[in-house]
């Protein structure tokens, strides 16, 4: 029963929004700084920004976020949550300068998953006299570049697969995150997909051959070779009603060029449903 439910969950994820794990790193040395000031303490500012980031991303994505990462225990909790929710990818950023102990643990222990390491640039930062604690806290809070540069050395040494960097304004970063998350979601779907191939090779088209083993290793889908008779049987099980409903969804969601043969499109969709 458990295996059955697990399989159903994977299949249902095709229709979900991408799920993103969010790592926001802060410095535990600064937590209480600025407390009682007009702009709040360092921790309060981090929490406020974290809420804004989550609320912005939730419009298009599912978010797994535990809390600001201050130490190794926090990053362990975050990684456990990411594994539990089977996130498609992880986005990480330093809220300010911070020790890189927790980040090193993430680089070492996080499962193989696409990671986008970002540094957003504020359009304007207004600082006053840093002898004033509120202004000094603002100075520290806007020093994410220092943390990003410090940890960039760790990133280089670990050299994880599927690790990418992005720098830009907040709007540019949010757009990059969305694109990255959707691409990662496609990767997840492919890893749990099954493709059917007609069991024949044409000797004049050797350059188009696919190595099923290499494709499974690098992209994920299992390739199953089917006879023409088997494929025909699978297609015949799909009703006209079901095939037409799927075609209508395609027409509603995507632009269909005038030259598309509607009958061939219907049969192509019917075959796809049959293979599923």
Of 47, 141, 55, the residue nearest 95 (C-alpha): 141
Q: What is the pTM of this model?
A: 0.77
Q: What CATH number does the domain located at 17-190 have?
A: 3.40.50.10940
Q: Which pLDDT score, from 0 to 100, does residue 2 have? A: 31
Predicted local distance difference test score (pLDDT) of residue 163: 97
* Residue 265 structure tokens: 């499109």
Taking phi over 0 as left and psi of -120 to 50 as alpha, with beta for the rest, 29 belongs to alpha
- Domains in the chain: boundaries: 17-190, 194-275
pLDDT (tens digit per residue) in 30-41: 888 878 887 888
The model's pLDDT over 133-173, given as tens digits with 9 standing for 90+, comes to 877 787 777 777 888 888 898 999 999 999 999 999 999 99
Give strand ranges (E) for 69-127: 89-94, 115-121
């Amino acid at each position: 029963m458990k295996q059955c439910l697990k399989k159903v969950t994977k299949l249902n994820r095709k229709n979900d929004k991408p799920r993103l794990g969010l790592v926001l790193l802060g410095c535990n040395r600064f937590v209480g700084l600025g407390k009682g000031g007009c702009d709040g303490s360092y921790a309060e500012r981090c929490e406020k920004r974290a809420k804004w980031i989550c609320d912005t991303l939730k419009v298009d994505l599912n978010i797994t976020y535990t809390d600001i990462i201050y130490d190794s225990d926090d990053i362990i909790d975050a990684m456990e949550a990411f594994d539990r929710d089977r996130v498609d990818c992880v986005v990480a950023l330093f809220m300010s300068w911070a020790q890189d102990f927790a980040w090193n643990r993430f680089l070492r222990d996080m499962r193989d998953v696409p990671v986008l390491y970002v540094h957003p640039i504020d359009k304007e930062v207004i600082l006053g006299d840093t002898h004033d604690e509120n202004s000094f806290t603002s100075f520290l809070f806007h020093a994410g570049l220092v943390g990003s540069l410090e940890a960039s050395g760790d990133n280089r040494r670990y050299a994880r697969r599927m690790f990418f960097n992005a720098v830009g304004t907040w709007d540019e970063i949010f757009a990059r995150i969305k694109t990255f998350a959707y691409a990662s979601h496609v990767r997840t779907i492919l890893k749990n997909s099954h493709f059917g191939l007609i069991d024949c090779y044409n000797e004049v088209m050797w350059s188009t051959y696919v190595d099923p083993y290499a494709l499974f290793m690098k992209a994920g889908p299992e390739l199953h070779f089917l006879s023409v008779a088997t494929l025909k049987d699978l297609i015949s099980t799909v009703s006209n009603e079901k095939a037409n409903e799927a075609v209508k969804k395609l027409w509603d969601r995507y632009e269909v060029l005038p030259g598309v043969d509607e009958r061939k499109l219907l049969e192509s969709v019917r075959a796809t449903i049959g293979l599923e």
